[in-house]
């Protein structure tokens, strides 16, 4: 089943805005969406024009960082200066 991520909503008169709908976007599923919009006038014959809109989905950090160990030990010298780095252990970000 194909999901609808975007729709056009009339703001006023001939003005529309593109909004998300139905399903939340997920960068891991689709990082990019390409839409073709067609505008048609009421002339005789009717004239139309197409434009391509590319929507890039930004990544959010939806996975908690994790450490590689459950316990870290470090030593601090007596009379250490304020803000002195005592150890570096950076968590991994699985996303």
pLDDT tens, residue by residue, 40-69: 888 999 999 988 888 888 877 666 777 777
Q: Which domains does the chain have, with CATH numbers?
A: 6-56 (2.60.40.60)
| CA Rg value for the chain | 26
H helices present in the chain, as ranges? none
Percentage of the chain exceeding pLDDT 90: 7
Strand partners, 38: 50
Percentage of the chain exceeding pLDDT 70: 80
d(CA 95, CA 65): 9
């Amino acid at each position: 089943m194909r999901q609808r991520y975007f729709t056009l909503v009339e703001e006023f008169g001939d003005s529309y805005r593109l909004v998300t709908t139905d399903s939340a976007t997920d960068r891991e599923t689709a990082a990019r969406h390409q839409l073709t919009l067609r505008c048609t006038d009421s002339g005789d014959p009717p004239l139309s024009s197409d434009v391509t809109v590319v929507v890039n989905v930004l990544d959010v950090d939806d996975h908690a960082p994790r450490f590689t160990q459950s316990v870290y030990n470090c030593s601090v010298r007596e009379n250490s200066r304020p803000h002195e780095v005592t150890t570096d252990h950076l968590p991994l970000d699985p996303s």
